[in-house]
Amino acid sequence: MLGYIVRRLMWAIPTLAFVSFISFVIIQLPPGDFVTAYVAQLRNGGEYITDMQEALLREDYGLNDPLLVQYWRWISNILFYGDFGRSLEWNAPVSELIWERLALTLVLSTISLVFTWIIAIPVGVYSATRQYSAFDYIFTVFGFLGKGIPDFLLALILMWVAFIWMNLDVGGLVSPQFEGKPWDFDKIVNMLSHIWIPLVVLATGGAAGLIRVMRANMLDELRKPYVETAYAQGFGERTVVWRYPVRVALNPFISTVGWALPALFSGDVITAVVLNLPTTGPLLLQALKMQDMYLAGSFILILSVFTVIGTVLSDILLALSDPRIRFS
C-alpha cells in the first residue's frame, strides 16, 4: 500500500512539470501580450503612449526574452523561493492576490460540496429503493430541472427574488456599508444574508446531477444477489441498504472526489461573476482576459497541482474502500 502511494506520487512529478510548461506556453499563444492589452486600455482611457514607451515597457517586463528563459525565470522562482511572480495588471505579488480570495472560495465551495452530498446521497438512495414512487418522481423532476437550469440563471432569479420580495440587498459578500470594516456580529449577519444565494445555487446544481448518478448506481446494486443474501441473513431493510449496496454504489463517487479539489479552488466562475463574489474564479477570468501571464500561469499551475493531488487522493481512498482495487 505504501509502495503504491509512493509510486503514484513519483509519477505525479513529470506530469506536473509537463503541465506547468504547457500552461505557460498556452498563455503566450494568443497574439499580443500583456503590454498590448495594457497599452490598449491606457489609450482607451485617453492617455498617450508612444511606440517607444511600449517597447520599453516590454523590455522592463522581460517579455522580449525567449520563451524558455521566461518559463525558467517563472518556474525557478516558484520552486526555489515560493515566489509566484508579480501580477502585471494588479502590480502586486500573485500569491497575495490568490491568498486573499482563497479562504472565501474554499469555505463556499466546501460548504456547498458538503450540502450537495448530504442532499444527493440520501435522496438518491431513497429514489432507488422506492423506485417509481411519488417521491421518486418528484425528485426526478427536481433533478432534471436542477440539471437543466444554468447556475447563473438560478443565481439571477434568486437575486431578483431576494431583492424584490425579501427586500435584501444582494450581490457581493457583504453590503457596501460593511466593505473594508472589521468583522463583527453585524457584518457576519449581513454576510449570512448574502451567502445563502451562492450556497443554494451551487448545492442544487451539484445535487441534481449527483441524485441521478446515485439513483442509477443504487438500482444496479440493489438487483445484485448479495443484497438478497443480506436479507436472507435476517438484517432489516435499512441495515441491508446502507451497509451493502450503498457501500458499493459510493465507489464511483469516491473515485471522483479528488476532482472536487481543483473545483473547490476555482469555484464556479460564472456564478461568482454574476453574484459579484470575491472568490478566485473571477480573478482567473480577468487574468486570462488581460493576458496577465504570471497570475494566469500560477492559477493554472495550482489547479493542475490540485488535480494531480486530488486524483492520487481519490485513488488511495478508493483502494481503501474497495478491496477489489487494492492489489490489481
Partner 1 sequence: MTKSTHAPLAPMPPERLLELDNVGVHFPTRDGLVRAVNGVSYHVNRGEVLGIVGESGSGKSVTARSIMRLQPKTALDASGTIRFRRASGEEVLISAQDRQSRTMRQLRGGEIGMVFQEPMTALSPVHTIGTQIIRTVMLHRKVSKAEARAQAIALLTRVQMPRPNDIVDRFPHHLSGGMRQRAMIALALACDPALLIADEPTTALDVTTEAQILELLKSLQQELNMAIVFITHNFGVVADIADRVAVMYLGRVVETGTVDEIFYEPKHPYTQALLQSIPRLGKSHGRRLRTISGMVPDPYNVPTGCSFHPRCLHGVRGVCDVKTPEDVVFASGQRARCHFAGEVAISEAAQ
Residues that bind partner 1 (CB under 8 A): 224-226, 228-237, 244, 247-248, 321-324
Nearer to partner 1, 254 or 277 (CB): 254
Nearer to partner 1, 3 or 234 (CB): 234
Closest CB 207 distance from partner 1, rounded Å: 25
Nearer to partner 1, 73 or 224 (CB): 224
Closest CB 252 distance from partner 1, rounded Å: 13
Give burial (CB, 10 Å; 0-12/13-18/19+) of 318.
buried
Nearest Cα to 252, choosing from 284, 277, 286, 220? 220
Nearer to partner 1, 246 or 264 (CB): 246
Closest CB 315 distance from partner 1, rounded Å: 17
Nearer to partner 1, 59 or 228 (CB): 228
**What is d(CA 323, CA 245) in angstroms, rounded to the nearest whole number?**
15
Give burial (CB, 10 Å; 0-12/13-18/19+) of 128.
buried
Closest CB 143 distance from partner 1, rounded Å: 23
